[in-house]
Structure 1
Amino acid sequence: MTDLANPAPEIAAGEGTAGRSLWAVAMMRLRRNRAAMASLVVLVLMALAGIFGPMVAPHDYSEVYPEFVKVPPSLAPYPQQDQIVPAAEEALARARVEIASIEVGGGGVTIMVTSESREIDPRITRYLDRSDVFSGSEMVEVSGDGLSATMRADVRELYFIAGTDANGRDLFSRILISLRISLMIGALATGVALVIGVLYGATAGFVGGRLDNVMMRVVDILYSLPFVFFVILLVVFFGRNVVLMFIAVGAVEWLDMARIVRGQTLSLRRREFVQAAESLGVRSRDIVRRHIIPNTLGTVIIYMTLMIPKVILLESFLSFLGLGVQEPLTSLGVLIAEGAKNMRNAPFMLFWPAATMTVLLFALNFLGDGLRDALDPKDR
């Protein structure tokens, strides 16, 4: 009797041990998945690059360099040695002077010019400053009769590690800003679709009966409406607001989410734990919130990781129609479309945006698989 009245010391010590919640267990299992954690790190790095990259990029994403159109990627600075002399000749072509000699060296260029009939205007140095290749030009020496002069200008070193596009804009800076726009579009549209679709589908599947029938017929009616017409109406009434437009995209994409969640809910509502909650008098909305929705998260997250690239591709289609992202902003879909047009003479314009999109999609898929395994109620 004494032994029964006084529990063993180890049992008494274990009474204060706190149990793990299902979310804590899921996070622990997710951390064990190396591919998912590596994908999470990649996504975080890409998000940081999209947010802060354009602020520290060497060039503004909208700055145009007419002298450097479709130049290939290079770790060496532009202009290259064989480009300096032609650039100087082109810059002084309208200065009404004859170029006697051009010497390149010391990080700059020395140009001797002559004129047959009129004195050389010192302001011709402005022609060099207007060029993307030269800066700090000055008149070093002028002859007594003013018919010959020597100018010197510094050669600007411009780095295009990913090349430039068809307009002469730095492709690396444009990939960074496109990463920001694409991730913002994917997050906004997917978030809207997630909230509306999960609540709508879980409610319809759990309540059932006539309400379920009516709610699904509403979904069928919305499926029949032309999506492009819906977007055009939004543009007419609210203008070309990127955020508003892709909230509207999410408000349409929730239809698939609602059907998937409804199907999962129909199978869950017959499970023993749901029937036990009903017999204990738990309210329907609490059952949906605490039992139905958490048990559909695995499927929802998998579909969500597939929806983000779908939304990004949908955005590129709208931008092609002139209804999406407008210049000078861009997105990965727009860059890939532009690269496809110049694939023969400038393949790097397609390679870098496509590689960025590929890495983004792989990371989303690996992370989705890891979350699916971690949140699967059958494996808890």
Structure 2
Amino acid sequence: MAPHDPAVAPQRLNRRQLVSRRFLRNRSAVVGLVGFVLVVLFALFGNVIGKWDYTQVDSHAFLQAPSAEHWFGTSQNGRDIYAMTVEGLRKSLVIGLAVAAIQTVVAALVGSAAAYFGKVVDRTILWVIDLMLVIPSFLLIAIITQRFSGSRGSTAMFIFLLSAFGWMLTARVIRSMTLSVISLDYVRAAKYMSVPSWTIIVRHIIPNVSSYLIIDATLGVVAAVMSETVLSYFGFGVQSPETSLGTLLAAGQTMATSFPWAFLAPATVLTLMLVFINFMGDGLRDALDPSSNSGGRA
């Protein structure tokens, strides 16, 4: 038998299989994926193995160091830091992922539509973007979230406000990238074939700028969590008795040297979450970029 059988054709992979293979060959991307899954599982099921609820107060353990009863120690008001960290991680994950997803979708659609339609549409969208960039978004978010603090829809309102004021710069970049994409042959061919404009934008233009969108989405998670942390530090955003990683960091920073467990637990969880998300984002970017050699040959 011949060492190479010409009758056996090499297997052809579709785009999804190619991206998956390149992603899985990137070690840091796999570490990020596994780590992020573990962080999500910890957020979802960490309270099942804990002994305390995040709202419970142990009147006999104020600022107690980590022990068998309180694994991460207790806070200044006697609440279990482990339970608060689990709840805070869950809240921060919801806020960060939701805000990043909404911002990315809005920026992709608005930016690509501005470049594709041009003329009046382009000028109008750029005018709206410039107007929103000069609005003091921090003050507006602080005032509105303070008004809705403690209500049932306060978290949803917080997500909406962070999303509403965070898509403009990304939309400008997507507009610039789209200007080079709409001149490609297959986009022109789709226009001549009378393919609906939004179909061209969604199926042909946005996938060509997806590498940037993925990077921006990962950075958006980081930015959303950091925005929530800053707002919580000033007494806005998520407020007691609710908790998030931002509120825990704000409460524990003043005791970081004297009672380090009050700060280290949420800070460690936050750092790991953001590192894993960045690893995943870098891996997806390299997997989607044919010119990148990080994932090896497909």
TM-score range for the pair, normalised by the shorter chain length: 0.7 to 0.9
Distance 1:32 1:257 in 2: 29
Residue aligning to 1:176: 86
Distance 1:317 1:253 in 2: 15
Pick from 358, 361, 366: which aligns with 2:271?
Answer: 358
User: Structure 1 residue 270: deviation in Å?
Assistant: 2.5
Amino acid of the residue matched to residue 271 of structure 1? Answer: L
Structure with more of its chain in helix, by fraction: 2
Alignment of 1:23-102 (within 5 A): 23-74=16-67, 77=68
Greater RCO (CA < 8 Å, at least 6 residues apart):
2
Residue aligning to 1:92: none
Amino acid of the residue matched to residue 69 of structure 1? Answer: F
Amino acid of the residue matched to residue 306 of structure 1? Answer: L
Amino acid of the residue matched to residue 182 of structure 2? Answer: R
Pick from 185, 210, 214: which aligns with 1:297?
Answer: 210
Residue aligning to 1:155: none
The superposition leaves residues 34-68 of structure 1 with CA deviations (integer Å, 9 ceiling, x where unpaired) of: 21111111111111111121233111111112321
Unpaired runs of 5+ residues, structure 2, are: 293-297
Distance 1:215 1:282 in 2: 23
The superposition leaves residues 14-35 of structure 1 with CA deviations (integer Å, 9 ceiling, x where unpaired) of: 6xx9853322211121111121
Pick from 266, 275, 278: which aligns with 2:188?
Answer: 275
Distance 2:173 2:91 in 1: 28
Amino acid of the residue matched to residue 218 of structure 2? Answer: T
The CA RMSD measured in Å over matched residues stands at 2.4
User: Structure 1 residue 221: deviation in Å?
Assistant: 0.7
Q: Alignment partner of 1:253: what SS?
A: coil
Distance 2:80 2:113 in 1: 49
Q: Percent identity?
A: 34
Amino acid of the residue matched to residue 364 of structure 1? Answer: I
Distance 1:237 1:164 in 2: 29
* Inter-CA distance 357–236: structure 2 relative to 1 (3 Å threshold): closer
User: Structure 1 residue 279: deviation in Å?
Assistant: 4.3
User: Structure 1 residue 10: deviation in Å?
Assistant: 6.5
* Inter-CA distance 36–320: structure 2 relative to 1 (3 Å threshold): same
Distance 2:223 2:247 in 1: 14
Pick from 246, 256, 265: which aligns with 2:159?
Answer: 246
Larger CA deviation: 279-288 vs 294-303: 279-288
The superposition leaves residues 257-306 of structure 1 with CA deviations (integer Å, 9 ceiling, x where unpaired) of: 21221122122222343334334443432221111101111100101111
Using the size of structure 2 for normalisation, the TM-score is 0.87
Q: Alignment partner of 1:20: what SS?
A: coil
Task: Please say if 1:319 is aligned against 2:232.
Answer: yes
Task: Please say if 1:198 is aligned against 2:101.
Answer: no
* Inter-CA distance 248–361: structure 2 relative to 1 (3 Å threshold): same
Residue aligning to 1:210: 120
Distance 1:280 1:18 in 2: 32
Distance 2:174 2:202 in 1: 13
Task: Please say if 1:372 is aligned against 2:285.
Answer: yes
Distance 1:165 1:233 in 2: 29
Check conservation: 2:215, 2:285, Cα contact below 8 A: yes
Check conservation: 1:196, 1:254, Cα contact below 8 A: yes
Detail structure 1 runs of 4+ shifted over 6 Å in the superposition.
none
Amino acid of the residue matched to residue 33 of structure 2? Answer: L
Check conservation: 1:319, 1:334, Cα contact below 8 A: yes
Q: Alignment partner of 1:160: what SS?
A: coil
Residue aligning to 1:139: none
Distance 1:290 1:356 in 2: 37
Amino acid of the residue matched to residue 319 of structure 1? Answer: S
Q: Alignment partner of 2:66: what SS?
A: coil
Aligned pairs, number: 286
* Inter-CA distance 255–188: structure 2 relative to 1 (3 Å threshold): same
The superposition leaves residues 326-352 of structure 1 with CA deviations (integer Å, 9 ceiling, x where unpaired) of: 212211111112121112211222222
Structure with more of its chain in strand, by fraction: 1
Distance 1:10 1:345 in 2: 72
Q: Alignment partner of 1:68: what SS?
A: coil
Unpaired runs of 5+ residues, structure 1, are: 1-8, 78-158
Distance 2:244 2:168 in 1: 25
Amino acid of the residue matched to residue 283 of structure 2? Answer: G
Distance 1:32 1:230 in 2: 45
Distance 1:280 1:20 in 2: 28
